[in-house]
Amino acid sequence: MPTEILVRTQGIVKRYGRTQAINGIEVEIPKGIVVGLVGPNGSGKSTFLKLLAGVLRPDAGTVTINGLPVGIKTKARVSYQPEIDCLYDWMTVQQVLDFTATLVPDWRPKRADEMIAFLNLDRGVKVRHLSKGMRARLKLVVTLSRDADLFLLDEPLSGIDPPSRLRIIKTLISGYEAGRHTIILSTHEVAETEGIFERIIFLDKGQIKVDADAQELRSQHGRSIQGLFEEVYQ
């Protein structure tokens, strides 16, 4: 069975002023896998995801999704969760859901309800009164309730309490439809997520340092991705 390529980048470059955030990344990601995008702060993870999401345009090179250059058509099939908190403070949890449902073409209310229940979110509470962990949970509901092809999650676990992290990982697994959904998740907390990754891309200074099958990496080096991460970036 030929693997269908979902994401293809060719020689992408992105600069912020004089800072080179992405420096010539070539990558092909097939449909239906979970990819861990790993690297220290400033390695280009967020910029890379933004280029795929179409939030930023590359200064050079091309990004295609499903063979289409990133644009309105691809955005309709991509669910992107930025690292920053993008929820309106004054809305209640229910208002966030209703609002998002009007913005995206592929909202799945049933899936949202399941996740709200599993993640113990209270629909009546205002966003400003949610703890950081609860806000992170709500962000996840907003991202994963779409019927998209590609889910881009930028540091969904960063700075969040362990119980919320655990719930978030379980939610990712429970909703994941193997072969249909592709997830690219950036993190520098590898230990908790490494079991869900099938492929690992290590970024460093805007370039790919390692790009390999997660199991092959472990078998080759006899250690966890977390261990390798510490070794590669020490």
Partner 1 sequence: MRDGFQVKLDFDSTRPIYMQIIDEVKRAVARNLLMPGGKLPSQRELAEAARVNPNTVQRAYREMEAMGLVETKRGEGTYIREDDGLLASLRGEMAQTAVDNFIRQVLALGLKEAEIVKLVTSRYKELQNGKRGEQDDAH
| Footprint on this chain of partner 1 (rule: CB under 8 A) | 33-34, 169-170, 173-174, 176, 178, 192-198, 215, 218-219, 222-227
Shortest distance in whole angstroms from residue 172 CB to partner 1: 9
How many CB atoms are closer than 10 A to CB 213?
Answer: 14
Q: Please choose, from the candidates 177, 224, 231, 167, the residue with its C-alpha nearest in 3D space to the C-alpha of residue 204.
A: 231
Q: Which is nearer to partner 1, 82 or 227 (CB)?
A: 227
Provide the terminal-to-terminal Cα distance of the chain, rounded to the nearest Å.
40
How many CB atoms are closer than 10 A to CB 101?
Answer: 15
Rounded to whole angstroms, the Cα distance separating 137 from 188 reads 19
Q: Which is nearer to partner 1, 36 or 58 (CB)?
A: 36
Shortest distance in whole angstroms from residue 65 CB to partner 1: 21
Q: What is the DSSP letter of 84?
A: S
Shortest distance in whole angstroms from residue 62 CB to partner 1: 29
Q: Which is nearer to partner 1, 84 or 177 (CB)?
A: 177
Angle between helices 162-175 and 132-144 (to 10 degrees): 10
Q: Please choose, from the candidates 57, 60, 121, 127, the residue with its C-alpha nearest in 3D space to the C-alpha of residue 95.
A: 127
Shortest distance in whole angstroms from residue 222 CB to partner 1: 5
Residue 152's beta-bridge partner residues? 80, 184
Q: Which is nearer to partner 1, 34 or 203 (CB)?
A: 34
Q: CB-side exposure of 26: number of CA atoms within 13 Å?
A: 2
Q: 9 is written with which tokens? A: 């980048």
Shortest distance in whole angstroms from residue 160 CB to partner 1: 16
Shortest distance in whole angstroms from residue 165 CB to partner 1: 10
Q: Which is nearer to partner 1, 79 or 193 (CB)?
A: 193
Shortest distance in whole angstroms from residue 217 CB to partner 1: 10
Tokens 């999704």 correspond to 65
Q: Which is nearer to partner 1, 48 or 229 (CB)?
A: 229
Q: Which is nearer to partner 1, 163 or 195 (CB)?
A: 195
Q: Which residues contact 229 (CB under 8 A, 6 or more apart)?
A: 38, 188, 190, 202
